[in-house]
Structure 1
């Protein structure tokens, strides 16, 4: 239980940072959130996130600042001050060190960059833990048909991965941040299973990607692939919201329901070779969401 208590303390610090990026954040304040001494809080934070609290804060501020520069027409100095940097010069140095491009240049061209996208550490340490204080998982499955127009997919495969966990171990966790930075994205980044007929030779079945307009002419991040996807219809499945601490139970439960679903209920058949099967980033407040390609019965 000690590990879970420390993970929860680190998550409280993460949540405080997330909600107060525009304010001065001291180690003393973070220690109050954690409920430990400043020294012990900093030590725990480094142990559970592989970075110091203030490096974590800097990386997160720069990533949020990058999104503001990408999406809003603001002066660089104003963005710097909004994210608690003392000067234009200091912000520019830190931004270039993290992303390899100056804020001004990024604002003009908005190339894909590796945004810092952390996740609450407590969720990982609650995997498999018995939680008698939580209600049973919901078995509701919400289903609807969605039509997608022709579009392009920017994606990165591994070599053998067939699931998110295998992909993260093989490729790492930085891909999501790069995908999230692509300004022209039609939707949020997704995990996806590529059918063999459109999969690059020697590539993994599981990949991560983001869809962009069919006329996309922007930059493709190094090592990534670009694929044209034809118009298609998909069945979109969504489970009920779940407690984040039970994601390791909730997600497989919904996936099992999807596997057993009969598309004939919607006058459809599975069309696995017509488009990738996709999953949105699992977030407890909205439930697990996955979409699979289908075509209508004649």
Structure 2
């Protein structure tokens, strides 16, 4: 049922590895082992776009990052990412982002960078492979430790109707939001980095947000639909599971960590009851980097008065 989600993900991964080599449909076909027509048809069915348009979008995104993060000549960047000339890059860049490469380099603004697609998800894997293939033997129990997060700012979409990740993305364009967050990576806070999401408690209910942390002195532009809030410094209880296999174990790991986090009795289990939650002043954060960091939920705490 989801065979072509898996195959399309392999196509996407191969394109990313060869993005500077002018990848062609014939090369993709030879790598995957299906005809060019079938690869093209199924890719469009799964992603909603053609292989050609996906490659062009990713080349433009990587060119934008090179403009922002390096001092290479614009012409060299253009050629590396498949453009026939600097003028060709300028036309594509201006049409997509409303500014020229030169002006963007001088003053990088938040722009909706086309992101690397992820079309093969844990639910697809489980439907194809079955629950018996889960690598449960390498999982551990969720644990808890303390972390201090200094004062910072957070720029994000604060959705007062969404209680979790799934509800949030039903209401927002994932590609557009994540692309804007990617474009802010040069400004992100060192601790609350880009794509750190979380929850804000409103009238006793947890409401989801998504975006990026920013340094406390950030005064730059704010994209439409985003809001910047000042977050005071606070200690957090960090509930975590170390790195794991995203496709095989994501659901189980997230469940273990969140059950511990949201049911933790701080009065009985931490520092003899001297601390309480600080969720009226600070948000809860969510870090989800499965095969690097693992999964973490952070809840702010304060000493009782």
| 1:49-85: CA deviation from partner (whole Å, max 9, x where unpaired) | 1111111111112112212211222221121122222
Q: Which residue of 1 aligns with 2:242?
A: 240
8 Å CA contact 1:139, 1:254 repeated in 2: no
Divergent runs of 4+, >6 A: none
Q: Which residue of 2 aligns with 1:212?
A: 214
8 Å CA contact 2:194, 2:211 repeated in 1: no
Structure 1: gaps spanning 5 or more residues? none
User: Does residue 190 of the first structure (1) align with residue 189 of the second (2)?
Assistant: no
User: Does residue 143 of the first structure (1) align with residue 144 of the second (2)?
Assistant: yes
In the TM superposition, what are the counterparts of 1:39-188 in structure 2 within 5 Å?
39-123=37-121, 124-127=123-126, 130-136=130-136, 138-173=139-174, 174-182=176-184, 183-186=186-189, 187-188=193-194
The alignment's TM-score, normalised by the length of structure 2, stands at 0.87
Tell me: CA distance 1:30–1:166, structure 2 relative to 1, closer, same or farther (3 Å): same
User: Does residue 294 of the first structure (1) align with residue 292 of the second (2)?
Assistant: no
User: Does residue 33 of the first structure (1) align with residue 31 of the second (2)?
Assistant: yes
8 Å CA contact 1:158, 1:171 repeated in 2: no
Cα distance in 2, alignment partners of residues 177 and 83 from structure 1: 18
Q: Which residue of 1 aligns with 2:15?
A: 17
1:260 counterpart (260, 263, 282): 263
Count matched residues: 292
Cα distance in 1, alignment partners of residues 245 and 288 from structure 2: 15
Tell me: CA distance 1:119–1:131, structure 2 relative to 1, closer, same or farther (3 Å): farther
Structure 2: gaps spanning 5 or more residues? none
Partner SS for 1:293: strand
Q: Give how far 1:215 is off.
A: 1.6
| 1:208-227: CA deviation from partner (whole Å, max 9, x where unpaired) | 12111222110011121121
Moved more, 164-173 or 80-89: 80-89
Cα distance in 2, alignment partners of residues 128 and 295 from structure 1: 43
Cα distance in 2, alignment partners of residues 49 and 224 from structure 1: 26
* Structure 1 vs Structure 2 CA RMSD: 2.3
The alignment's TM-score, normalised by the length of structure 1, stands at 0.89
